[in-house]
Structure 1
Amino acid sequence: MIDYLLYKEKSINGRYINADIIQPCFSKLPFPLIHIGNSVDGIEINAFKLGSGQKKILMWSQMHGNESTTTKAVWDMVNFLQSENPLATQILKECNLLIVPMLNPDGANLYTRENINKVDLNRDAKNLSQPESIALRNLFKSFQPNFCFNLHDQRTLFSAGNTDKSATISFLSPSSNKARDITPAREVAMKLIVGMNKMLQKHIPGQVGRYDDGFNDNCIGDTFQMLGVPTILFESGHYPKDYEREKTREYIFLSMLEALKIIAEDKIDMYSTGDYFSIPGNQKLFFDVIIENPELVNPEIEQGQKIGIRYKEVLDVDKVIFTPEIVEIGALDRFYAHKTIVCVDTKDFGFNSAEIKLLDLLLKTKN
């Protein structure tokens, strides 16, 4: 059993992670950085290698600048791999890792999905219109990996199937064509996902989802899978009461190590593609907050209706603020909430109209 806290990189936390914040992590690496290019705004994009084995794994994080959980987990993994743990020794002996902790530093600065040109780098695999996209593709060509880990975050609205369990971690073995055929590369990625899911069910049972596999050759994962390299999409999702995604970070760390362990030990074929399809597909069934009985406070709302609220992530200097927004009013019978507010009496809450004073309400929370 790995003691995660021994390896957690304590210098980085929260949701806002930019290039300046991870510089101390780069600085303490005992090996040279590999400069793979610059962002549109001129920020260096760096990578580094770990291990001396024959099994080559390319991984990159923060392709979307506002998806930082996996970046934190990558540095936790790097700390582990530099330890004397026997698993770390085995992985470095069998594997050769090439890691890009932050592919989109401009987007990270601005806390946006796109780069500074407002281009989604994960929809630029064909056009290669942006320097960040070109840097990754050139790295892929020169390194010729045997496996790729595409590291992302997903929104709090996802459930693990048609359940009241949020999708804390989701995976995808991307499609290689419109028919979604199970090609050899896709099969290998599926088996690795099954192995990670088996481990995760011991920690977060029912909280692992399978991301939609609709084919899009503009996506980098689909492209690399088409090129015959097993590619896994990691999606960091919501763990209860963990909007800073520090707990999810731990499960991503454990997932990456499990995948590397399976690769290092040549145990991929121990797992079945059939079990991949038993992982429940993600559904969009969660609100951050559902308000029940709102008609007791606002008579303009019909009896039996509920208010669904989702948070908008807003950068305030160097901190992400979760701003509540009403996105739906209705029966919401099929939906779940990370928090539920039950209106009991008009004196309990301070709103008068459809423009609810949400901050007052959120103090009156029933979990």
Structure 2
Amino acid sequence: MKDLDYNKIMVPTISRRYINYDHINEFLKTLPTSFKIEVVGESVRKESIKSITFGSGPNKVLMWSQMHGNESTTTKAVVDLLSYLKQDIAEVLEISKSCTLKIIPILSPDGARDYTRVNANGIDLNRDAQDLSQPESHVLKAVYDEFKPDYCFNLHDQRTIFNVGDTSKPATVSFLAPAFDQDRNNSPSRILSMQLIAAMNDKLQKEIPGQVGRYDDGFNANCVGDAFQMRETPTILFESGHYPGDYDRDKTRVLIYKAILKGIQVISKGTISDYTVEQYLSIPENGKQFVDILVVNPNYIENSITKTEIVPIQYREALTEGEIVFKPQLHHFDKMPKAIFGHKTLNCNDENDILWLKEKDLLQLLS
């Protein structure tokens, strides 16, 4: 079936990188009564955490976004998904009859307001699956226990450092079928996760060929995806990454929306067996070889004391007056890669590039 025109369902009032409940509440009020909106708990600062339930079918899918408050791309994507599900079309009716979807659009309201990875107590909720030390962690576990999902979609953003394999292609979207044990064995639930990712990758390769990566599958029982996989629930990690020039991640938003919808369609139609573990394993693993700005030949800048041939610069995201600003800083690799790629490359032999450096106040980083 041909996709519905995205421009007809995209919610333009919810945009940019800074997203909290203030941004989405007005849209949630527009949802018809076929969507059940509930307050399922509270954050550390007592802000309501909401869920939206759609459909009444036997295939139950639980998804949550902004477990890390500064990872908002998937929140925009699930808002677009909800907008799609409002459409009076045959495929939406089919989904509603075959699936029950439960979506927590922002699991960490305090982290979303502060634009931080951690919650108001400074805890990473995605390392709290066993301790359950935070109210937001209890909310997710309670929803999981009550809903008893057949599939979980764990929705995140990833940094701009990731490339696909050893290539110079950015990992615009990455997936992972989390491990359930230290040896990273396969189980029936993990195999289903792999097959569903293979289906979504098949969709995305037509949109962004070579720009889909596979996230590191090191086992950590404290991570929610691994913990749910341990409970034999097929769980998929979504990582929204960088599309060239798209620091607001509007293009990545569209791709995540399409990936989520493809996953739901496959579950709804019962066609998951059309895809294989081998197709999942063929997705290259992520590398960490990108920086936001790669300056080459910096020793040619007048008065520069650097003797290196390149200077890697990475943006730090900061919340300033309700907007996210990108502040450049020197980047230090944990392990120097064999090749370094820049989302923007500037050559100090080029007068135009030097002018750009001056305009962006980057010259001070090179001295």
Alpha-carbon contact 1:296-1:345 (below 8 Å) kept: no
Alpha-carbon contact 1:307-1:328 (below 8 Å) kept: no
Alignment of 1:148-167 (within 5 A): 148-167=152-171
Alpha-carbon contact 1:305-1:332 (below 8 Å) kept: no
Alignment of 1:47-62 (within 5 A): 47-62=51-66
2:345 paired residue number: 340
2:294 paired residue number: 290
Percent same amino acid at aligned positions? 47
Question: Which amino acid in structure 2 is aligned with residue 9 of structure 1?
Answer: V
**Taking structure 1 as the reference length, what is the TM-score of the superposition?**
0.93
More moved, 179-188 vs 18-27: 18-27
Consecutive aligned runs of 4 or more in structure 1 exceeding 3 Å deviation? 345-351
1:18 aligns with 2:16: no
Find the aligned partners of 2:128 and 2:82 in 1 and give their Cα distance: 28
Alpha-carbon contact 1:324-1:358 (below 8 Å) kept: no
**Taking structure 2 as the reference length, what is the TM-score of the superposition?**
0.93
RMSD: 2.0
Alignment of 1:87-126 (within 5 A): 87-126=91-130
Deviation at 1:333, TM superposition (A): 5.8
Partner SS for 2:257: helix
Partner SS for 1:33: strand
Alpha-carbon contact 2:347-2:354 (below 8 Å) kept: no
1:325 paired residue number: 329
1:365 paired residue number: none
Find the aligned partners of 2:31 and 2:263 in 1 and give their Cα distance: 23
Alpha-carbon contact 1:199-1:258 (below 8 Å) kept: yes
1:238 aligns with 2:239: no
1:43-75 residue CA offsets vs partner (Å, 9 max, x unmatched): 000102101110000000000000000000001
Find the aligned partners of 2:243 and 2:352 in 1 and give their Cα distance: 33
Alpha-carbon contact 2:127-2:222 (below 8 Å) kept: yes
Sort the Cα spacing of 1:347 and 1:54 in 2 relative to 1 into closer, same or farther, 3 A.
closer
Partner SS for 1:115: coil
Deviation at 1:328, TM superposition (A): 4.3
Alpha-carbon contact 1:349-1:361 (below 8 Å) kept: no
Find the aligned partners of 1:350 and 1:191 in 2 and give their Cα distance: 49
Aligned with 1:143 (options 129, 147, 153): 147
Deviation at 1:130, TM superposition (A): 0.3
Alpha-carbon contact 2:32-2:86 (below 8 Å) kept: no
Alpha-carbon contact 1:67-1:153 (below 8 Å) kept: yes
Partner SS for 2:345: strand
Find the aligned partners of 2:182 and 2:359 in 1 and give their Cα distance: 44
1:300-336 residue CA offsets vs partner (Å, 9 max, x unmatched): 222x61000000000002100011111249x976010
- Aligned pair count reads 357
Alpha-carbon contact 1:47-1:99 (below 8 Å) kept: yes
1:237-262 residue CA offsets vs partner (Å, 9 max, x unmatched): 00000000000000000000000010
